[in-house]
Structure 1
């Protein structure tokens, strides 16, 4: 089974970045898998229009965005699908500067998934984006955070295969296999 990281498709699509003026946006980067549903206050994101002509000409018909590490934003239909296939996802409304309806997907599943001997091995995996996983711990997972690298969302082949929506705006980059 292959394991992937979610990354933006910046070649084809525009994407959302955190609004630097929104104090709630700063806090989102410190989330590490705790449930947010009961205390949620929407934060703002802005579409990155780009500086070059090719950046400005990227498509805006995306239904998923994830430029910032561990911050997955999706349209309500895709959000419903994700919440339906895993009980470890919370769908939380955000505010977009271009008035599109998007939700932040908070993954609450944090497991010891990485196989390593010391912190240097974790750093090497992070830098190379080639991870070693504990097979028994990830075999039945769809989407999860690692207990050490808790800002990353890892997804399995099962997650990708179960999504029925056509996903536009993100890519699944293979980073390991069990």
Structure 2
């Protein structure tokens, strides 16, 4: 079974970045799958603008944005689909896009598992495995999760073919998936 890292489809879609005055975005590096509902203040986001280009032909009409690892932002329709599919495995938290807090949401993945097989591997071997997208994941630890965080590389969101099929079946746009390795 292949395991994928969720990424942004830069070629076809615009994407969100943090506004300069957003202080919460630095905290995202400490999100390890813990519940955030009680402390959530909301990211402040804006569309990325490349000042070197006069015209950006990429579409603003997307359902999901994942420019930063582990920072999946989705529109309302997609948040409802994910909430129904993933029930207690995610939190759907509002974000601020140009002062609007009702159109987009941060998906906080709560499934954190020891997914990556790190036994008898040095730190250098583990890092090389991840850089080369040649990770070996523990299939038994992933179990029935179709989206999850690894307990070591928790700032990334990983998924299975079933999640990718769900995205395709529901015509969710804006994402791409890079193979991160296999689950054995």
TM-score normalised by structure 1 residue count? 0.91
Give the corresponding residue for 2:114. 112
Q: Distance in 1 between matches of 2:37 and 2:23?
A: 18
Quote the offset at 1:177 in angstroms: 2.3
Question: Could you tell me whether the CA contact under 8 Å between 2:134 and 2:182 is conserved in 1?
Answer: no
Runs of 4+, deviation exceeding 3 Å: 51-55
Give the corresponding residue for 1:96. 97
How many residue pairs match? The answer is: 178
Quote the offset at 1:44 in angstroms: 0.2
Question: Could you tell me whether the CA contact under 8 Å between 1:47 and 1:97 is conserved in 2?
Answer: no
Q: List alignment gaps of at least 5 residues for structure 2.
A: none
| Residues 87-109 of structure 1, C-alpha deviations (whole Å, 9 max, x = no match) | 21110000112847110000111
Question: Could you tell me whether the CA contact under 8 Å between 1:47 and 1:98 is conserved in 2?
Answer: no
Q: Within 5 Å, give how 1:52-71 maps onto structure 2.
A: 52-53=52-53, 56-71=56-71
**C-alpha spacing 1:30/1:45, structure 2 compared with 1 (3 Å):** same
More displaced stretch, 107-116 vs 16-25: 16-25
Quote the offset at 1:17 in angstroms: 0.8
Give the corresponding residue for 1:174. 179
| Residues 40-82 of structure 1, C-alpha deviations (whole Å, 9 max, x = no match) | 1112011002234487221110110010111000011111111
Give the corresponding residue for 1:148. 152
Q: Distance in 1 between matches of 2:141 and 2:133?
A: 19
The alignment yields a C-alpha RMSD, in angstroms, of: 1.8
**C-alpha spacing 1:27/1:55, structure 2 compared with 1 (3 Å):** farther
Q: Distance in 2 between matches of 1:129 and 1:49?
A: 29
TM-score normalised by structure 2 residue count? 0.88
